[in-house]
Chains A and B, each alone.
Chain A
């Protein structure tokens, strides 16, 4: 699966999602399914052109893709919910690594 292997390269994902607008776009797509640019622009304080640029960044990271349904162009989440869930767990896991490293220093350096 091309999308899944792309998604496994974590860095572009983090960069792509390190932005509130793009994060909201992913939130919308993950809860509602494919949406048109008109729907994606609703509630955003931005032009369609600006939203389209954000979608392009997300598409480069393998997170969303444009599809055609009839005469309409829609955007959908390309990363599977499972992949999102796995990447999330990686972050939680890294946080625990850091916390436990601090715990080790804490209990091993006093008497």
Chain B
């Protein structure tokens, strides 16, 4: 149990080559498919990419700033975490940094995802995330139990 409130780190072993995992991360269509975000265009370092997500019957807009791309090694981007309230303009708020780091392993690829910078996000905004208690949640947790071995 970590005590930090600024960052989270997730690690998962994927039974796929780093080249395959990289494609899933770096190719806009592939990223859209698994992440559930429709992207306007492909990723490139320094680029701002807009995306939309369907959430509880609403279409929400997201902005991704692509910071670094090192093929089969690292994808780093910034976004507004949990920006799920269409009434709120998040553009003036700080973003978190998301890093996908890939390493080859005997089973395939070890992917480490870190998201950091949460302490810069207004606390009231963070409290709002508690309300995001959608119905699909229980099912998602079951899916995790079946699929994530981290």
Partners in one complex: yes
Which residues of A line the B interface, CB within 8 A?
13-15, 17-20, 23, 26-27, 30-31, 81-82, 84-89, 91-108
Which residues of B line the A interface, CB within 8 A?
5, 8, 10, 12, 14-16, 20-21, 24, 30, 33-36, 81-82, 111, 113, 115, 118-119, 123-124, 126-133, 140-141, 143-144, 146-148, 150
Bound together, the chains give a CA A17 to CA B133 distance in angstroms of 9
Known interface pairs A85-B5, A88-B129, A94-B141; A100-B111 also in contact (CB < 8 Å): yes
CB distance A88 to B126 under 8 Å? yes
Known interface pairs A91-B132, A92-B118; A108-B124 also in contact (CB < 8 Å): no
Among B16, B119, B127, residue most surrounded by chain A Cβ atoms (within 10 Å): B127
Instruction: List, in ascending order, chain A residues with CB within 8 A of B127's CB.
Output: 17, 23, 26-27, 30, 84, 88
Instruction: List, in ascending order, chain B residues with CB within 8 A of A84's CB.
Output: 123, 126-127
Instruction: List, in ascending order, chain B residues with CB within 8 A of A20's CB.
Output: 131
Of the A-B pairs whose beta carbons lie under 8 Å apart in the complex, a sample of 29, sorted by A's number, is: A17-B131, A18-B130, A19-B131, A23-B131, A26-B124, A26-B127, A81-B123, A88-B129, A89-B5, A92-B8, A92-B129, A94-B144, A96-B10, A97-B10, A97-B140, A100-B111, A100-B113, A100-B150, A101-B143, A102-B34, A102-B36, A103-B12, A103-B14, A103-B21, A103-B24, A103-B34, A103-B111, A104-B15, A106-B34
| Cβ of A67 to closest chain B Cβ, rounded Å | 20
CB distance A31 to B14 under 8 Å? no
Instruction: List, in ascending order, chain B residues with CB within 8 A of A18's CB.
Output: 130-131, 133
Across the two chains, which residue of chain B brings its CB closest to A27?
B124
Instruction: List, in ascending order, chain B residues with CB within 8 A of A13's CB.
Output: 130
Bound together, the chains give a CA A59 to CA B130 distance in angstroms of 16
Across the two chains, which residue of chain B brings its CB closest to A107?
B16
CB distance A100 to B12 under 8 Å? yes
Query: Closest 7 A-B residue pairs measured CB to CB?
Result: A85-B5, A106-B34, A88-B126, A107-B16, A17-B130, A101-B147, A98-B140
| Cβ of B18 to closest chain A Cβ, rounded Å | 10
Bound together, the chains give a CA A73 to CA B23 distance in angstroms of 59
What 15 additional pairs, Cβ within 8 angstroms, besides A18-B131, A89-B8, A107-B24?
A: A23-B130, A27-B127, A84-B126, A88-B129, A89-B118, A91-B129, A96-B113, A97-B148, A100-B113, A103-B21, A103-B24, A103-B35, A104-B12, A105-B34, A107-B21
